[in-house]
Each structure stands twice: as C-alpha cells, then as structure tokens.
Structure 1
Amino acid sequence: MRKRAKAKNPKRELSPDEGVVRSASVTDEHFSDSPSQERHASRSTLSTESKTDTVYLEDVMDEHKRPIALVCEVMNPEYQDPMLVSQYIGLPKLLKGVLLSWSTAQGPGYFPFSFWPEDVPTLDMTAALSCMSFVQKGDYVNLARVDPILLGSKSIPAKSPRAIICIGQTPAICVMPVSTVVSNIIQPNSKNYKLLSGYPHGQEIDRVAGVLRMVFGHTKFNAPLAMNVLTFQTLPPKATSSPIRNFRGFGSSSTGSSSRASGSYFSSVRVYDAREVDFNLTRDIDKMESLPLFEEEIPAGSFAVVGHSISSYEDSVPGEYGLSFNILWVILLGCP
C-alpha cells in the first residue's frame, strides 16, 4: 500500500430538506421505525446478555442446513443510496431476516453513503466504495454482499450453546463499514467492555439480516441495536444508551485475525489507520497489519470498517434467539 496524495472531495451542496431519499410512499416516521425493525414494546424487559465464551476452532461442530430464496425479500429501492445502486445488481437472493432492537426509542435511520463527501471531505471515496463492494477473501466476508451458500453455521458445545458463522471449518471474520458513534476501544466503558458503535448503511443492514436468517435458520434475532446504532464489543451487549446524531437516514425492512471467533473484555482491539494510503479492501485486507496503528478513541462520525465475528444463542425467553457482534479489529479510513 502506497501513500495517497492528499486531496479533498468537493463538498456536496444540500437542499434544505435533503437528508433522505424521497418517496411518496415513505413518511418521516417510516425512517425511524421501518416495518420490520420490530421492537420489544410488548415486553417490559429484554435480556440481551448472551453467553459467549471464547471460541476455538477445535470446538466447532454440527453444520446446519440453509434455506434457499427463490425471490429476494430484502431489496428495496427506497433504502438504496444513489451511489450504491449499481452494486446491488445481480446480488444473491435473500430471505428476509429481522433484527429486533432492545429500545423502543426512534432513531434517525441508517446512514446514507452519499453523505460521506460532505461529512468527511478528506475521505478517499474510491477506498470507501471498495469497502462497500467487498465480498469475500479467505476467512474475511461481507455479509451484505456474500452468497450465503458459501457460509455455514456451527454449534459450539458449551454450558450455554451457541452457533457461529463459518467458512468451511473456520470461523468467519465479518466486515461492516459504519459511521461511528461511540468508541471505547482504548478505554473500556464503565462495565469494562471495549466497544465501537455505529450506524450501518441503508439497505446493507437488510442484506446482513437476510444472510443471518439463512445461515442460522431463525427469522428474528434480538440484536445489540438501538435507535439504528449497532454495537460491536468484546463481550456480549448490554442495554445501554448511545448518543444519537441528528440526521434522517434510510429506513430498513429488516431491523424492528484469528482462529478465535470472539474477544474477551481484556482483548486488545487494534485500529489500523488507512487514511493516508492507497487502500482497497479486497486487495489489502490480508495486509492490514502493515498499516500504522491509530492509538486514540475513534472520533464520532468516522468511516470505519469493523472486523467482527457473529454468534447466535438461545435467549432467556424460550423460542427467542440473540446475536453477539464480537469486535476483533477496526480499519479507519476517514475522520471528520
């Protein structure tokens, strides 16, 4: 990876009411509470504490069968950013999965990719687009792009059984680009968790939810998701509040490295700094360790790619399943 020339992207001029993709069939209310971003208003409490021990490759067993989608149930032009529309052509058909938020509070929606040139003028948009279009390389996989036929679900024998996503017999390392909200990577939070939270991009989160359904075999999951912010951390998520940026983004129809697949609370979470290099995720993901380290908390509103593992477990309520997004590392591409 060679250093890139410093060049600012031209600022995009916004009309006074810009900030969402307009549609006669979409209201502002839809953006904060989309049809299948289901919530637990009917329950006074929700246990989001999953049971995650550190996962080792030799513990993996029992592959689950995957359903097949004859018609794609997740693609919706209303949720697609104009800069990403061409990337959705020809993607695998997916069944609809649902990520259940633990919070009933409304959020601003999912992050529109076309906001980046104004929000972070120094962001290399070619590099950012490479992160969105990344599919799979070795054990690294983008659930928003991959064909679920390449993935498997493996059960982990433990006191509290769970399942992880694998590629072959190896736990998959998933990648997700986000607009960051809260960083506790250097200094753990009050509960001793290292975490990074952020807004996923519009339409991307729907595809992730669909792949999770097809891989794990469950339609709905309790997720570490609140007000459109997803939390990745070194221990299973707790129900905590996060500051929410004041913008209106995309809705969603789906949200109501190492052989280890998760990190413990004392794990080091490395942040690789790709801001000043010619970076392409497909070309360079297996060379990330050659990047310099960013040794501060990541500023809110940064473009970051989160490397993580995902596990599913049976929740405390019979018949319900939860998800853990276990942070492993981060690649930072741009800061405000």
Structure 2
Amino acid sequence: MPHLHTPALTRRHCLQAALLLAFPLAAAAQAYNGPIRILVGYPPGGPADTAARIVAEKLATQLGQPVLVDNKPGAGGQIAAQALKAAPADGSVLFLSNTHTVAMVPLTMKAPGFVPATDFRPVGAVANFELALAVHPKTGATTLAELGAWFTARRGDASIGVPAPASAPEFIAAEVARHLKADIVPVAYRGATPMVTDLLAGQISAGVSGISDFLQHQKAGRLRILAVSRATPLLPGVPSFAQAGLASLDATSDFLGLYAPAGLSDAAVARYNTAVNQAVAMPEVVAKLQASAMTPATGTPAEQAQRLGQVSKALAALVAQSGFVPQ
C-alpha cells in the first residue's frame, strides 16, 4: 500500500531539510571572527587612509570585530596590493584602494606583482574621489575653450602640472592638451603638495589632481576648477570633462573600493559587502567623507568589478593614445 512508504519518505525529507538548515548555520559558525586588517597603500592622512579610518570604525560595530587600518605605503600602492595577494583568504585581511593601484599600475608597470582580475575579489564601493583640472587666475579662463585660447597665445607660459608620473592625472592632462591643440607636456611632480604650491604661485598655469587638493583654494578664489572627471555635488555648476567636450575622459573618475584576496568565500564577501554598504550609508560617515571631498558610494561586488573594468578600459585607451611604454 502506498501509505506504508510514507514514514520512510517523511524521515528522509526531514533529514534533508535538517541538513539544508544546518548548512548556513555551519557556514556562519565558520565565519572569521578575529581582528580584521584593512591594508592601505599610502601614508596616514591621504584620501585612502582617511576613508579607511572613517569606514573601519563603523565596520567594527557592524561586524562585531576589531577592524584596524594597516598602512603599507610605497610604489603607488603596489606594496599593499602585493600584501593582499599573499594574505590568507580567510577574511582577516582586506584592501582599500584607489583606482591608481588597481587600474593604472597594471597598465604602466610590466611586473606590478599582482593581477587585480585574478588575485583580488571586489567587496564593494566606499567613495568617489573625483579628479579635476584647475587653473591659476592669471589665465582668466572659465572654460576649457578659454584655456585653449590662452595656451595658444602664451605658448612659452603654458604648462599643466600633475602630482606623479605615469598617473591618471598625467594621461588626463595630456588628453586635455591634445583636445585643446596645445603643444604641452605635463610636468610631473613628486606629490600633489609641491604641484599645488607651484600652481598657486603661478609657476605653472594649470594642474590636474584630486579635487581635495584644489577645493579650499577654489573657495578662496586662488584657483579655478574648470572641469572634473565626473560631475559632483561638491562642485555644483562645474562640468565633467565629458560635458566640457572631452568624451574620452568620461570613465576616468577615481574611486575608492574595498577588495579581498581572490579565494575569499562568497558568503564572506557578501557579509563584508553588506557591512560596508551599511557603514557608508550612515549620516555621520556621509558627512565625514564629504568633508574630505569624497562622495560616499555603495554597490554590489559585481557592480564594483564592472566599474573597475570600465575605468581600466578608459585609462588603457589614454595610455595607448599617449604612446607610453610600460616600465
């Protein structure tokens, strides 16, 4: 009779259900619950470090675990990136990086020591950190077209500074010069501070760097920002490069993202993604990031991977256009 088999089927189904219920519980029990290190490839005080410390404090609360910022400065973030690659994929080590390290360095270095697509797993976004073109008031320029006319009239006094060689600002500056038909080679400095100092003094007529390097001087009227990599509420009324006629710079926006070693489990990535999205959305975090000239950003790991791919493609085109040979 069919009903004679019901108890056996019931017992089997109950066992299967118990196993299915136990699986997520087991996964949760195996989740890493010790101190978490967030690697930062730059010294304390810069945008990446600032964002990491703002977010780390809230992640510790969200996850119920200590979260520490571990600065490993040097080589444009390569040291920290290599440390992430070598780290155990158990959730104990994460990496907060700008696009220079994970997008530009692989394009300009023959052997950076890591391949983002295979060595890292995107966890989520943290903040947008736009790049900007600023000019000295002596140019009188309020638009890119006016800057081009000024460059043409004063070829011996025309220069664009950038904070580092083989950086996104250098290739953006070269593309701006090409667009304006100006015979200008970007002047590479060792850091944004000396470049901005020379720009304020009128030693150079323009510069490309992060908006945080220019924002206070723009407000004081000592510099004028003509365009940004992407329109931002921090600079209302200032057009993006694309809006100003430079479509080739449409996807060159800098951003800060959180990454994990490639072998980290899907469950752990999802857990950290949820935590960082919740942290970045907190009003006090939004206020602190905005005060540091950053715009909070959230998203899924897949969206972070997609954006990294888009930025890498846009920067690769600029590098190729410039004729730069990887070192």
- What band does the TM-score fall into relative to the shorter chain? under 0.3
Q: TM-score w.r.t. structure 1 length?
A: 0.20
Bigger fraction of residues in helix = 2
Bigger fraction of residues in strand = 1
| Higher Rg of the two aligned structures | 2
